[in-house]
Structure formats: structure tokens, C-alpha cells
Amino acid sequence: MNPVVMHTVARMMAPVLLLVSLVLAVRGHDIPGGGFVGGLLAAAAFALQMVAFGRSAARRQLRVHPTRLAAAGLLVALLSGVPAMLEGRSFLSSLWGQVPLPWSDGLKVGTPQLFDVGVYLAVLGTAMSFILGMSRGEETTAPELGR
């Protein structure tokens, strides 16, 4: 049987889900959202791919090994706290700055955003390693994960 509806929906929804996850992650600083929710939604997008096209397809689309993704996220989140330490303040103190933009007043950027990026990656990586790990063994030809 060819689950046409499932395949079509999964293919159409993937970019939407990923985009919404990014929107959630970016707006999270002042209003509901943030890296954690964004990461979960992104994991849901890949989980949908897994349901529709199988485990190895989802793993291929993720490109990076999930635990490495989680490690990278943890590292980014930790690094976001370090600049404050170099200035002699406490670890994770937020530093903010303005990036001047030609078409508007300027963009407020700071270390908490970097922290959110780290959380996003860490949550996506962890959730995907759970999801992919739990579905291991369902496919007869278990794909080599690599590390």
C-alpha cells in the first residue's frame, strides 16, 4: 500500500513545521516560545518524516548524528555564558548590543539569543536520539548510525 496522503502531508508540512519552530525560538525572548519549544517542534517535524518515510530517511534528513547535535547545542549554550565572564561578571550574565541595519533602527542581539540557539540544538538532538533510538530494530535492515 502506498500511503499517499501521509507522504504528501509529511512532505508539505516539513518546511512549515521547521519554519514555525524557528519563529517560536526567535520570538521566545520576550513572549511565549523559546529554544526549548522550538527544538521540540523541530523534533516533531523530523518525527513526522520518520512516520511517513521510515527511520533511515529521517536520520538522513537530520544529516548530523543526534547526540552530536545535542553536544553542539550544549557547547553553544555554555559558550554564550562565557563572554560575561571575560568581562568580569557572573557566568551567563546577559550582554546586549545593537546591530545597525540600513532599513530600520537596528537589531537587538545578545548572548541570551545564543543561549536559545544552543537550547534549540540540544533539545532537537536529544529528542531525535530518543525517537530514533526507540524505533531502532523496527526496520529489518538496521542502518549503520555511525557515531
- Positions that interact with another protein (CB under 8 A): 67-68, 70-72, 74-75, 78-79, 81-82, 84-85, 88-94, 147
Nearer to another protein, 41 or 70 (CB): 70
CA gap 144, 110 in Å, rounded: 40
121 close to 76: Cβ distance less than 8 angstroms: yes
Q: How far is the CB of 107 from another protein (least distance, A)?
A: 22
34 close to 116: Cβ distance less than 8 angstroms: yes
Q: How far is the CB of 85 from another protein (least distance, A)?
A: 5
Nearer to another protein, 7 or 136 (CB): 136
Q: How far is the CB of 50 from another protein (least distance, A)?
A: 22
Q: How far is the CB of 142 from another protein (least distance, A)?
A: 15
Q: How far is the CB of 54 from another protein (least distance, A)?
A: 24
Which whole-number Å values give the CA distances from 46 to 7, 8, 20, 110, in the listed order? 13, 15, 13, 29
CA gap 25, 2 in Å, rounded: 35
Nearer to another protein, 34 or 81 (CB): 81
C-alpha dihedral sign at 119, 74, 81, 97: negative
Nearer to another protein, 58 or 76 (CB): 76
Nearer to another protein, 36 or 53 (CB): 36
Kind and range of the H or E run holding 18:
helix 4-27
